Structure formats: structure tokens, C-alpha cells
Amino acid sequence: MKRVLMVAFHFPPAAMGSGHLRTLGFVRYLPHHGWEPIVLTARSVAYSRVQAANSKLVPEGCRVHRALALDVQRHLSIRGKYPGFLAQPDRWSTWWLAAVWQGLRLIRRHDIGAIWSTYPIMSAHCIAHTLSRRTGLPWIADFRDPVASSVEAGNKFSVASQNRLEQRVVGRASRVVLTTPGAMSGYADRYPEAFQGHRLSVIPNGYDESAFAGIAADRPLGPGRPLRFVHSGILYPDGRDPLPFLTALANLKAAGILSDSGVQIVLRASGSEAVYEGEIKRLSLQGMVTLAPPVPNDAALREQADADALLLFQGQRYDRQIPAKVYEYLRIGRPIFALVGEHGDTANLLRESGGAKLVPLDDTDAIEHGLSEFILSLHNGNPPKASEQLVASYSRFCGAALLARLLDDVVS
């Protein structure tokens, strides 16, 4: 079996969002397509949040090697402040040297055939680039998000270095992988030589079928029971702002269309809870909207399956991104009320697959009208339903098959 060295900062026991799930999916399913993954990642001290249970997600027998990495903000700052130039290209650049040294040993020891790395931690691409240059091995650079939407805006040193390194990565990687058609279109515009050289590809984020074992979406609507809406994941004031939705809820409640006993909204692990809690009190929605803490991914999936409907916030700013949870939402099979940019990749995916009611993120009137129609469809038993056949094509098993083809191509 051929071997690939996978350089990924986010890997269990990291619990800093869902970034580790894409790498885990490739690690789990690449062996089915002729490639054995060997993972090069960071020591757990680098992670701001860990969950020991996440380590159980790593397939048995998978070889994982960890290099020392420090977080400038947590380990090298004074009262939370640090010189911006230390975070070039990111706060974890300290693992660059150690990971390159360890990576060279792994390449020699295991007869590695190719290198893969994943962003938005740019230092992972820097490590892979250095290893590729030193060994001559082909390298696939994976961008889970475009650089333009991921850099730390408050640090001019990080922004400048990441933009500069993006050009180097796209120019020198054997293949560049994006997760959405819009992201690939943006990179094709900025780097026409990569597009013309057929070095740009799309592998969607997708979902891992193994995560849904024993989880079934079966929650019949009974008399006297409130409809339960769930949103899982972070919300931002810019791009994923829930305030227009909360305002629409308050307006519908004031008009007597919605009530606390008829609808319950759960915003799970939204971040900025203090801000949203103030808005919820101002709009008198304490009896309808709950801010809930983070839970492990399997618990979040069970909660989604037990909901009557799922909420999605993805505004125009993120038109070229599709949140990983969208694929999980589609696999769960519950109806989706999606507040999205009309022309974005997320909207296009939901239109193609079905299963969602789409409204603009920032149009309160449209949200009120759309939500009223959506709730009526739930009560009538005819909510939107996704195509199971199309949803199945977004499994991580299928994504690993696409990556394996790229690996075969660059090696040959």
C-alpha cells in the first residue's frame, strides 16, 4: 500500500471546532482506496481546548506523530498581549522547525510517496512545502477555507505573511484542493496559471457515515408539544448574525403567530453568549430561545436528529464557503431553515439537494414570512426533504476516493 504523510494541525484530542473532522475522514477511508495515511500533527499543549474522548475517533492502527508547538497568545504573551510579528504566519508557527525535522525522519522510515497538508493553519502548508522541497515528493495543499476569509484581521503581520505564502503554496504545490466551487472559482481568478494547468480541484467537506451509527431522525410532531429548532456551531456578528432572525421571532411573537409554548429555539455553542443573551432579553425571548454550551460531536448529532428542524446561518460574506455542519444536517435528514446568501455555494448546495427553506440572512421581513411558511409545512407534514441519493455522494468515503485519485495522479 502506498503511503501519504498528512500534515494537519487540528487532530484529536483537539476540540477547537470541526476542523479535525475532514482530516479524520481522509485518515479513516484512504486505506480503502490504496493509501495508508501517516499523520504529522501538534502536541496537545498547542490546543486551547481538548477533549480526551476525541482520541477514540482515530482509527485503530493509524500512526500519529506529534511535534512540539506553542500558541504565542497563550504561552508567549504577557497579560494576553504579544508582538504581532511572532504570529507569522500564525500563532503556532513554533512547530515549523520541529515538524520538518520529524517529517524528514518519517519520510525516510516509511517510504512516503506523497505529502498532503491542510489550511487554515498556514504553518501546516509551510511544513509540507519545506518537506516537499527537501525530498522532491509531490504535495497536495488542501484549503478548507480560502485564505482571504480566514486570516486574523487584527494582526497585520499575519495577514501580510499569509497572503504572501498563499501565492507560494498555489504556485508550488502539485495540486491545490478547495472545498467549494465558489472557492475554486476565486482561486482560478487570482491564479490563472494554476487553473490552466489543471492543478485546482474541489473535494467537498462532506460527512462521515460512521458518526451516524445508531442515530435516527425520528421525532413525530405530537399535539401540545412545541416545535424544536436547533442550531449547532459558532455565530458571528459579521456574516452569521442571528439578530435579524431573533428580531423576526420577536415580531411574530408580538403578533400572536408564535408563542413560547409553540416554538423552542436552541442555539448550541454559539460563542459571544453574553452579547446574544442581552439581545434575547431585550426582545423578551427568554422563554423561546436558549443559549446552550458546547457538547461532543456525537451528542450534537443526536440533538440534531431529535429536533423538528435545523437552523443555518451563512451570510453573503461567506458565499464561497459551505460549513461542515451543512453536510451533517443533510445526512440527519431533518428540514432546514437556512438564512443564507442567495448566490452562495451553501444556497446552491441546498437548492440542488433539497431539504431546506432559504431566506436572506439580514432581511427581517423575508425571515418572518419564510419562517411562517416553514412552520406551517412542519405542522402539515410536508416540509422540504433532501434527496437521499445526492446526499450519499457527499460522504467522506466518496471524498477520500477523490483524494486517492489525486494522489495517484501526482505520484504517477
- Grid cell, residue 46, equals 498547542
Comparing 89 with 127, which gets the higher pLDDT? 127
136 backbone dihedrals φ, ψ, rounded to 5°: 80, 10
Q: Between 223 and 352, name the one with better pLDDT.
A: 352
Q: Is the dihedral of CA 169, 173, 179, 184 positive or negative?
A: positive
Do 381 and 260 lie in one domain? The reply is: yes
Report whether pLDDT(390) > 70. Answer: yes
Distance separating alpha carbons of residues 182 and 48, to the nearest angstrom: 31
Q: Which of 157, 97, 163 is nearest to 130 (CA)?
A: 97
pLDDT of residue 154: 60
Give the model's pLDDT for residue 362.
95
Q: What is residue 22's predicted lDDT score, i.e. its pLDDT? A: 93
Same domain for 254 and 163: no
Same-domain check for residues 77 and 180: yes
* Residues 254, 319 share a domain: yes
Condensed to tens digits (0 to 9), the pLDDT of residues 241-262 reads 999 999 999 999 999 999 999 9
Q: Answer yes or no: do 223 and 195 share one domain.
A: no
Average pLDDT across the chain, whole number: 92
pLDDT given for residue 110 in this prediction: 96
Residues 138 and 149 in one domain: yes
220 with 360, same domain?
Answer: yes
Note the residue count of the chain.
412
Q: What is the pLDDT of residue 52?
A: 87
Higher pLDDT, 33 or 46: 33
Is residue 217 located within the same domain as residue 89? no
Per-residue model confidence as pLDDT tens digits over 210-247: 889 888 766 665 567 899 999 999 998 888 999 999 99
Confidence bin at 297 (pLDDT 50/70/90): confident
β-pairing verdict for 63-67 and 35-42: parallel
Q: Are residues 271 and 194 in the same domain?
A: no
Range of the domain at 264: 211-392
Q: Give the model's pLDDT for residue 352.
A: 95
The pLDDT of residue 286 is above 90: yes
pLDDT score for 223: 63
Give yes or no: residues 256 and 112 share one domain. Answer: no
pLDDT band at 265 (very low <50, low <70, confident <90, very high): very high
pLDDT confidence of residue 130: 97
Mean pLDDT of 120-126: 94
Mean pLDDT of 49-73: 89
Distance, CA of 354 to CA of 391 (rounded, Å): 10
261 and 160 in a common domain: no
Domain count, the chain: 2
Average pLDDT over residues 132-143: 98
CATH of the domain at 271: 3.40.50.2000
Q: Do the Cβ atoms of 79 and 47 come closer than 8 Å? A: no
Please indicate, yes or no, whether residues 295 and 201 belong to a single structural domain of this protein: no
Q: Given pLDDT bands bounded at 50, 70 and 90, which one contains residue 155?
A: low
pLDDT at 358 over 80: yes
pLDDT for residue 96 is more than 80: yes
Element (H, E) at 230: strand 227-232
